[in-house]
Structures are given as C-alpha cells and as structure tokens.
Amino acid sequence: MTAVSLHPMEDALLTAFEQLLGWVQEDYAADPVEAYMLLGQTLNARATAICNPKPTYLCKIDKSILKAFPRRDDKSASEA
C-alpha cells in the first residue's frame, strides 16, 4: 500500500500509483508492462483527506493477486 499527500489531487493519485508500481517491480519478478496492466485492472485507490490543503491518496493491491509473480528474494522459486 502506498499513501501520498500532494496537491493537486491528480498528482497524489499518480504518485501513489507510480510508487506502488515500483514496489511490485522491485519485489516481484514482474515485467514492467505486465505489472502496469495488472495494477491498472486491480488497483484499489481511495481519496482521503480531500478537504485538507494536501489531499491524500491511498493505493493498494490484494497480495493474493501478486501470487502470479514469484518474489525476487524467494530462492525456492528460482531453484524450481
């Protein structure tokens, strides 16, 4: 999950999405295009604190969806 407070609200969403995308690419053996498409279809994004000067966006993905990609630090997956 990523949380970003930034103004305008569109930039908060974009930055939160980019940070989550980077995490999926770093921690999982996911092709950048596949990770982008996966997040585009399964991302859960919520706007919070929209009355504040800097609105906050939360972006998250259910980890069960990421089971399609082996974790980069999982040595047992690379040995199989």
Q: Whole-model pTM above 0.85?
A: no
Which residue in 41, 11, 36, 9 sits closest to 22, CA to CA?
Answer: 36
Q: Which residues of 35-56 are buried (b: 16+ CB within 10 A; e: fewer)?
A: beebbeeebebeeeeeeeeebb
> Per-domain residue ranges for the chain?
2-71
Q: Which residue has the higher pLDDT, 54 or 77?
A: 54
Residue found under tokens 């908060």: 12
What is d(CA 38, CA 60) in angstroms, rounded to the nearest whole number?
12
Please give the CATH superfamily to which domain 2-71 belongs.
Acetamidase/Formamidase-like domains (3.10.28.20)
The predicted structure's pLDDT at residue 50: 77
pLDDT digits (tens, 9 = 90+) for 1-57: 999 999 898 999 999 999 999 999 989 888 889 889 999 999 999 998 778 788 899
